[in-house]
């Protein structure tokens, strides 16, 4: 052991756990982070921005709050940190703090620090995101893609495109001037851009209302600076680890919205464990890496979804009017009075709509309907093989009861094209769209498992499926979610099938 390694080993007092999404986002990462935060001293958001929507319920399940930038542990009174690879919107953050306050946490603003290397989301990035969008690909239109693009570009001529939080500490007025100049220059560029729909641009300018937005940003920035919430030390996280703290790293978005996804239907940041490590969370301190997958997987926006109910028909349905037409109110009215018939229906759109209305599968931030499909174990196993995991949290297992009228619960265990098996996950759109899943079938169950306290109380068909899935993945199923509340989690205690 070299001297430096020995010194690091001697200092290695604390540890960290990572929570990473492994489908197309919306896997209920926020809930399991909220549960695991009980054992953590601090929760770190290491990627993304206010395009995330981590929904968390109170103890009796009667109220919920959606967290976009604040680390999920804040609801437990845990300290939080928004790390260097994140983008940050001060004005949106203070709107979020108001939601958190209404939820019952009054001191949230004092709990979370923001890394000086995190980048500000600027008005010109939001404008570009909306004005140049030619089709709904799943973006929230909040400037995230352009923000990460500017972070890589840094400058354009004399323009300083990327503004880090640290600039606010040097000169707030200078930062505001740079933001205004960037916005004015962006408007001029877009007005001359032949690819830009000028009618759409004018509508975006009016909606953004730059005068009011800049005033909101100025007030929010001054508050952050005044409360000294911007962290100057780039080694902040490792210092906490060296002090013996236990850190929980909360990823936003998902692996199949990043390097494993199909361009352009992906996110702009790195949700993998590599994204956490590059923020200054050394791998030597990593104790557990928990992947999260949802029992009935979903996808927001366009993009290939191999196990989707109804295939491209459901994609078109969910994307009508850019996802706004078939919203929560529409589907609850359409399916609520004939739920049982729709759950028995052979029409995949009716069936998916009924399940969606009962499982509240609508975007936590965007409000768009999420496309539903069958569980794809092959993509999860590939992610585990590529990125490593010590366990898998399987969320919303209770929702599988809604499949009770189906012939079986199907799990994808491979892929085929034109009747021939393939041995890879397609990451090219055309390749993915001509791919079909190969399924294993399991028995359905008709039982409310939301109050189960252990695996022994689960239906035997479900326990057999869980154990078979665990064996197939080559990774323990760390825990399962059986309802929205934090106490509705069953942790692994051994072989799922043999639980008694």
User: Where in the sequence numbering do the catalytic residues fall?
Assistant: 26, 54
What is the phi-psi region of residue 360: left when phi exceeds 0, alpha when psi lies from -120 to 50, beta otherwise? left
Closest by CA position to 66, among listed 76, 79, 52? 52
- What's the DSSP call for residue 465? H
CA distance 103 to 144: 27
Alpha helices in 37-143 (DSSP H): 90-103, 123-131
Closest by CA position to 5, among listed 283, 289, 388, 287? 283
Tokens of 136: 């709904």
3-state SS class at 114: strand
Do 327 and 362 form a contact (C-beta atoms < 8 A)? yes
- What's the DSSP call for residue 121? P
Do 29 and 41 form a contact (C-beta atoms < 8 A)? no
Strand bridging mode 246-250 / 42-45 = parallel
Measured CA to CA in angstroms, residue 7 lies from 13, 166, 242, 284, 286 at distances of 12, 31, 11, 12, 17
Q: How many CB atoms lie within 10 A of CB 173?
A: 8
Q: At what angle do helices 172-192 and 198-208 cross, to 10 degrees?
A: 160
């Amino acid at each position: 052991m070299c001297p430096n390694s020995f010194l690091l080993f001697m200092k290695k007092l604390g540890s960290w756990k990572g929570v990473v999404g492994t489908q197309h986002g919306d896997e209920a990462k926020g809930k399991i982070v909220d549960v695991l935060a009980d054992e953590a001293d601090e929760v770190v958001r290491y990627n993304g921005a206010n395009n995330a929507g981590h929904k968390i319920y109170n103890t009796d399940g009667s109220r919920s709050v959606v967290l976009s930038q604040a680390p999920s542990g804040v609801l437990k009174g845990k300290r939080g940190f928004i790390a260097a690879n994140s983008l940050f919107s001060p004005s949106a953050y203070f709107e979020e703090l108001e939601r958190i306050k209404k939820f019952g946490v009054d001191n949230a603003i004092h709990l979370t620090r923001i890394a000086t290397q995190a980048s500000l989301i600027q008005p010109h990035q939001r404008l570009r995101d909306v004005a140049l969008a030619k089709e709904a690909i799943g973006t929230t239109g909040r400037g995230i893609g352009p923000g990460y693009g500017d972070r890589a570009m840094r400058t354009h001529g004399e323009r300083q495109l990327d503004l880090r939080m640290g600039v606010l500490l040097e000169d707030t007025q200078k930062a505001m001037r740079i933001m205004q100049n960037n916005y004015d220059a962006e408007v001029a560029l877009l007005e001359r851009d032949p690819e830009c729909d000028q009618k759409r641009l004018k509508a975006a300018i009016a909606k953004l209302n730059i005068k009011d937005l800049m005033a909101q940003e100025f007030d929010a920035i001054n508050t952050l600076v005044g409360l000294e919430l911007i962290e100057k030390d780039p080694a902040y996280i490792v210092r906490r680890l060296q002090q013996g703290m236990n850190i929980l790293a909360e990823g936003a978005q998902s692996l199949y919205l990043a390097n494993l996804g199909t361009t352009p239907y992906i996110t702009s940041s790195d949700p993998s464990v590599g994204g956490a490590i590059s923020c200054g969370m050394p791998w030597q301190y990593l104790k557990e890496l928990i992947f999260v997958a949802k029992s009935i997987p979903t996808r927001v926006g366009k993009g290939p979804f191999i196990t989707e109910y109804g295939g491209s028909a459901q994609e078109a349905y969910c994307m009508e009017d850019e996802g706004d037409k078939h919203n929560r109110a529409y589907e609850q009215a359409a399916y609520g009075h004939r739920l049982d018939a729709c759950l028995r229906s052979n029409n995949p759109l009716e069936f998916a709509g009924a399940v969606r209305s009962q499982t509240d599968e609508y975007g936590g931030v965007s409000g768009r309907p999420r496309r539903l499909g069958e569980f794809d174990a092959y993509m999860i196993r590939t992610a585990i093989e590529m990125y490593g995991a010590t366990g898998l949290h399987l969320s919303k297992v209770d929702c599988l009861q809604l499949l009770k009228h189906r012939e079986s619960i199907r799990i994808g265990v491979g892929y085929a094209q034109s009747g021939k098996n393939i041995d890879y996950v397609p990451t090219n759109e055309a390749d993915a769209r001509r791919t079909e899943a190969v399924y294993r079938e399991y028995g359905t169950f008709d039982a409310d498992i939301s109050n189960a306290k252990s695996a022994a109380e689960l239906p035997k068909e479900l326990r057999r499926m869980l154990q078979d899935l665990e064996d197939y993945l080559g990774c323990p199923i760390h825990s399962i979610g059986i309802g929205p509340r934090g106490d509705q989690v069953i942790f692994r205690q051994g072989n799922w099938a043999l639980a008694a």
